[in-house]
Each structure stands twice: as structure tokens, then as C-alpha cells.
Amino acid sequence: MALEVGAKAPMFTLPDDKGNKFALKDYKGKKIILFFYPKDMTPGCTTEACDFRDNLSRLKRKKCVVLGVSKDSVARHEKFRDKYELNFPLLSDEEGKVCEKYDVWQEKKLYGKTFMGIVRTTYIIDEKGKISHAYEKVKVKGHVDQIIEDLSS
């Protein structure tokens, strides 16, 4: 279960793809698109990240900051960012504490095997620090367009 719309977004500080500390509290007053994804360099995650990259100017017109979060290391995020020319921060949650706070670390099934992993989830956090939209078990194709549409209504 994702966090509920209207809930206060859990605060956190994580290193970004440049090794700098990123604190969510520093972005109060801004609209944040926080997308959690399973793993850098995998087909679905690459498609999703590149879709955010390609639509960043449209999202900025909606006064949004885009942030990607996975359990990958800062070094792996840096490679991912450079390889695909990503133009927004990737945050490293290697210990998984933020993934747990945002309830995206869940049991998954693949090829009959059950394991724990990040369920692809996007939250929009409003200027007051509350969850305004929650997208669970995101399908990559059309996701960014759906966000833009929802932000327009």
C-alpha cells in the first residue's frame, strides 16, 4: 500500500548522484515528483528515467522538481546519469530506509520466485509537504504524460 494522498511526506536526507547531501526539507515550497524505481541500467527503469529526462521542461513549467530514488550506490547512479544524460538528481537509498518510509519496499514475484524489492511508485509532494498524488505499480509507458495531465487538472 502506498502512502495515502493527504498524508505528510516523510522527511529524509540521502546522497545524490554527485555525492552531495539532498534533504527533502530544503525543497519545502516546491512541488516534487519523487519516483522510486528498482534498478539503474535495467530496461524499464532506463525507459522511465529517460521519459522524465525528455519531459523535464514540461514538468518544470508545472513548477516541479523531479527526483529518482533507488537502492543503487552513488557510483552506479553517476554512471546511469552520465550514460543516459539524465538532467535531474538520482538519490541513493542503499540502506532502504526511505523506501520503507514511503512503503515501496515490498514483496514481489517474478518467474514464480518471491523476493523483496522496490515496487515502481511515484509520489507528487505538494508545496506544503503533503502527498497530492500517489501512483502505485507504475506502468512506464505513458506515466509521465499521466502525471502532466493530472497536474493540469
**Residue matched to cell numbers 515490498:** 106
**Residue matched to cell numbers 538520482:** 90
Distance CA 116, CA 109 (A): 9
Contact by Cβ (8 Å): 28, 125: no
> Measuring CA to CA, which residue among 67, 114, 115, 112 is closest to residue 93?
67
The residues assigned a catalytic role are 45
CA 93 to chain CA centroid, Å, is 11
Q: Which residues contact 132 (CB under 8 A, 6 or more apart)?
A: 5, 31, 124, 125, 126
Contact by Cβ (8 Å): 144, 55: yes
DSSP state of 10: P
